[in-house]
Structure 1
């Protein structure tokens, strides 16, 4: 993994985690992401 990719992954992880304050919120975010991927795959 290149340095840029690793930095981007850390940044995105921090962004996602800062957006959800609770475990329930994180679960909802993950579910929404899964649904979006599923719709894109159809």
Structure 2
């Protein structure tokens, strides 16, 4: 599985998880995840 993500604080304003999750699905990219890592 390929994992991508955003590291930072705070991440409540970030739309990237929704954006990349939808993009991976739309492009047919499987076995890939995008997560937020709040430090």
Q: TM-score, normalised by structure 1?
A: 0.39
Larger Rg: 1
The structure with the greater share of residues assigned to helix is: 1
Q: TM-score, normalised by structure 2?
A: 0.40
Determine which structure has greater relative contact order: mean sequence separation of CA pairs < 8 Å that are 6+ residues apart, divided by chain length: 2
The structure with the greater share of residues assigned to strand is: 2
